[in-house]
Structures are given as C-alpha cells and as structure tokens.
Amino acid sequence: MVSIARGEASYLIGHDGRRYLDMIGSWWTCLFGHSHPPLVAALKAQLDQLDHVLLAGFTHEPAVELAEALIACAPAGLSRVFYADNGSSATDAALKMALHYWRNLGRERKQRFICLSNSYHGETVGALAVSDVALYREHYGPLLFSPLIVTTPDRYEQPPDLDTEAWVARCVAELAQTLEQHGQDVAAMIVEPLVQCAGGMRMYPESYLRHARRLCSEHEVLLIVDEIAVGMARTGKMWGSSHAQISPDLLLTSKALTGGFLPLAAVLAGEHIYQAFYAEYQTRRAFLHSHSYSGNPIACRAAVTTLNLLKAPEFADAHAARCARMQRSVASFADLPHVADTRSQGFIGAIELAADVSTKRPFAWQERRGLRVYRHGLEHGVLLRPLGNVVYFFPPYGLSEEEFQHAEHVARAGILLAVAD
C-alpha cells in the first residue's frame, strides 16, 4: 500500500517523500493536475459560502451555474440536468429514468436494455448489470438483470478477413437484428462512446455511434452515452459523442467533471425526457431517485471551475498538441517485443501486450504481466496501473514534456521486464 501525503501537479507524494508521476490520472479523475491552484482557490471561496443543502425544493448558485454550463457545452438537444454523486449512481439513475420514461408514456413493455460487449458502466447493482466485464460480474450474477449484449466493433477484435468498414457493418447489422427482434421490449441502449476504458482502453470507430443513434430512433429506444471516463475533452473533443456529432437522449458525466477533486455526477437529458415526468403530483409521474449529497455545492463549484478552464481559449491549441504527442508516444512502443497493438484517442494512449503478436493470443491472466509493469513503475517513480495486459497512459493535462519522456522511459523498461521469459 502506498500512502500519499500530498498531491502536486502531475505528482503524488508519499509520506516518505517519494514522488509518483500520476500517469493514470488517479483512475481517470485528475484532469489538470493534483491540487490545481485555480480549483483550490475556487473551492476555498466556496467553503466560506455554503457547504451543503438538500437539493429537493431548494437550489443554490453552483448547481444552477453548473447546469447552465453543462447544457451550453452539451450535444444539441440536451436541455435538462439531474445530479447524482458518483458515476455508478448516475448510470443507475439513467436506467431508471429510461424505464420510467416509457411507463409514463404507457409503454410498460419497454423494460430491457442493450449494452455493448466488453462494456463497463459502474459497480452498483444496476450499473453492473449493463457491464460486460466478466471479472466484475462473476460473483454477483444472482443480483443482476440480463441485458441484451451486442458486439462492439472493437478495432483490436476486428477479424483479419474484414476491413474496418465491413467490421462496423457487421456489428451494426447485429444491432439492427437485435432491435428488430426485441425493440418493443427495450427501453434504452447504453454505450461508452469511442473508448471502453475499464474494458482495456479498447477503441471503436465513431461511425458505429451514428448507426446506433439512427437505429435506436427507428426502434423507439433511448440512447444513453456514458461519458463518465471520456468526457472533459479526454478524447480530444469535449465529449466522445462529439466526434460522431450525435445527440443522445441521456448523457452521463462524472469522474473528471470536478477536475478530480470531489465526487459528483450529472445525467443530462433531452427535453422530451423531462416533459414525460413533469406533471401534477397526483399523477404520480415524478422521477424517484435522490442521494443525500446530490449536487453538493462544493463539488458543483469544482465542476463549474473545471468547465471554465476547458473553455479558456488557450486550452484548445495546447490540447491538440497534447493529443498529437500522445499519438506519437504510443506509436514509439510498437516495435517492442510482445506489443500486439498500440492505440490512442485524444489524450489516452494504450499498449496491448500479447503472448503471440501474430495471433493476438493473450498472456494468461494468471501470469500477471501488467503487475510487473506496475511494480517497476512504482520503483521508478511512475504510477502505471495496467488493465490486465494493457499498459496505458491517461495523465493529467498539465503533464510536461520532461515528465512524459520520463514516463515513456519507465514504461518501456517495465514492458521489457514484463514480457521477458
């Protein structure tokens, strides 16, 4: 166990004074850097103003400002904001909202959900039910409802005899068939746009999202995009769904929403969703979901400040350069032994190791190759925490060139160690 005393920009600093370069952004939360001064200042001011108030019949300035700021930068058509206090509970809220939406429209049959293979939407019971990561699902099966799982056009899984377009077309056809067969019973489809982070930073083409949007509309199925990991410009654009220029019915955001300072989540909804619930109390159509700390003012202040920093004119240029740097970085790992794939999307980079590069036969999980990279990283002051056989970079945006080079150097040596023997 590593005990951390302080955070400072890209570094976590232990009680023993050891410094760890946080190349995974403390699980995809840390956005600009640790204890980022503009966020610290905004939060200090907020602490003197208002700590917390229930968000039922009451509201407050940071909650209103944040809702307005989110809608201003959201995909077109999203006009309402519902707060939760972590990613998984936002997923659960969206699933409940989708089901309840159809009930309110008299479509009670619509109770099922579609998710993608290798998906991850959180670990509360509802979120876990629409997650297809065997490791997390295994023990809790009896608690979980069964979604319809359709194949993700994962570039790494692309069959060798198909080009990308044909691979996407095959997966789109499978989705179309599933909707054809079950659409009447489906409330919503949930997807992680472009990158399945917990699933091993696996990436798929944006064209799939456009097809999914079209097919969901045709079959009267809501589309939920889970931007919890990839929002806040992580993929190069504000949202993963921005790349496909689609508007989902519901959008989830959390993790780096507060710059990585505090837990907070928001479910953004289209006006049609809101209107289906907005009615006299006696009609009993209201959405029933609340958490004690929903829309906490300090967390909302952190998020408002984060969105302002992302909007600053100097951010966009620096960010484009940063994403290009990431692409070059992972490409430089391609010639190492046992590297079966290198891929990047925005400021996410991944290097996938395999026992046999030509067939992509993975290293058995029992061999724990990734753990060797993790340990080597810690010994050399870099926090890398591979997902199985996938070494990845998901660093804070404030990472300097020198820090990046140090991380690359340590990752390269760690990979060489991990694949030896």
Ligand X SMILES: *Cc1c(COP(=O)(O)O)cnc(C)c1O
Give least dist CB 76 to ligand X, A: 22
User: Given the complex with ligand X, which of 192 and 408 has the nearer CB atom?
Assistant: 192
The alpha-helical segments, DSSP class H, found in 120-265 are 125-129, 134-137, 164-182, 207-218
Give least dist CB 397 to ligand X, A: 18
d(CA 209, CA 237): 15
User: Given the complex with ligand X, which of 87 and 270 has the nearer CB atom?
Assistant: 87
Contact 70, 81 (CB under 8 A): yes
User: Given the complex with ligand X, which of 9 and 257 has the nearer CB atom?
Assistant: 257
Binding mask 183-202 for ligand X (x = CB under 6 A): ---------x----xx----
List strand residue ranges (DSSP E) for 287-384, in order. 339-345, 348-353, 382-383
Binding residue (CB under 6 A) for ligand X from 62, 87, 193, 259: 87
**Torsion angle, alpha carbons of 265, 3, 133, 98, to 10:** -10
The Cβ of residue 401 has, within 10 Å, a number of other Cβ atoms equal to: 8
Judged by CB under 6 A, does residue 384 bind ligand X?
no
User: Given the complex with ligand X, which of 267 and 340 has the nearer CB atom?
Assistant: 267
Give least dist CB 389 to ligand X, A: 19
Judged by CB under 6 A, does residue 75 bind ligand X?
no
Q: Which of residues 240-259 bind ligand X (CB under 6 A)?
A: 254-255
Judged by CB under 6 A, does residue 31 bind ligand X?
no
Q: Which of residues 211-240 bind ligand X (CB under 6 A)?
A: 226, 228-229
Q: How many residues bind ligand X (CB under 6 A)?
A: 15
Measured between alpha carbons, how far is residue 322 from residues 220, 346, 397 in Å? 40, 8, 8
Contact 251, 74 (CB under 8 A): yes
Q: Which residues pair with 115 in a beta bridge?
A: 149, 190
Give least dist CB 9 to ligand X, A: 23
Q: If you write DSSP's letter for every residue of 256-270 in order, what string do you get?
A: GGGTTSS--EEEEEE
Counting beta carbons within 10 angstroms of the beta carbon of residue 242, is it exposed (0 to 12), middle (13 to 18) or buried (19 or more)?
buried
Binding residue (CB under 6 A) for ligand X from 33, 62, 75, 122: 122
Judged by CB under 6 A, does residue 88 bind ligand X?
yes
d(CA 213, CA 270): 14
DSSP 283: G
Binding residue (CB under 6 A) for ligand X from 46, 86, 306, 389: 86
Give least dist CB 89 to ligand X, A: 7
User: Given the rule CB under 6 A, which of 94-102, 116-124, 362-370, 377-385 is the region that contacts ligand X?
Assistant: 116-124
d(CA 81, CA 55): 12
Binding residue (CB under 6 A) for ligand X from 120, 204, 333, 397: 120
Judged by CB under 6 A, does residue 121 bind ligand X?
yes
Judged by CB under 6 A, does residue 270 bind ligand X?
no
Q: Which residues pair with 331 in a beta bridge?
A: none
First to last CA, the chain: 27
Q: Tell me how far the alpha carbon of residue 101 is from its chain's centroid.
A: 24
User: Given the rule CB under 6 A, which of 12-20, 80-88, 200-208, 270-278 is the region that contacts ligand X?
Assistant: 80-88
User: Given the complex with ligand X, which of 136 and 278 has the nearer CB atom?
Assistant: 136
d(CA 167, CA 159): 7
Give least dist CB 98 to ligand X, A: 16
Give least dist CB 190 to ligand X, A: 9
Judged by CB under 6 A, does residue 342 bind ligand X?
no
Judged by CB under 6 A, does residue 132 bind ligand X?
no
User: Two tokens at 258?
Assistant: 């507060």
User: Given the rule CB under 6 A, which of 86-94, 272-280, 286-294, 403-411 is the region that contacts ligand X?
Assistant: 86-94
Angle at 338 between CA 334 and CA 341, to 5 degrees: 45
Judged by CB under 6 A, does residue 344 bind ligand X?
no
Q: Report the candidate in 129, 97, 109, 156 with the shortest Cα–Cα distance to residue 289.
A: 97
Give least dist CB 228 to ligand X, A: 4
User: Given the rule CB under 6 A, which of 115-123, 161-169, 269-277, 326-334 is the region that contacts ligand X?
Assistant: 115-123
User: Two tokens at 178?
Assistant: 């599933």
Residues that bind ligand X (CB under 6 A): 86-88, 91, 120-122, 192, 197-198, 226, 228-229, 254-255
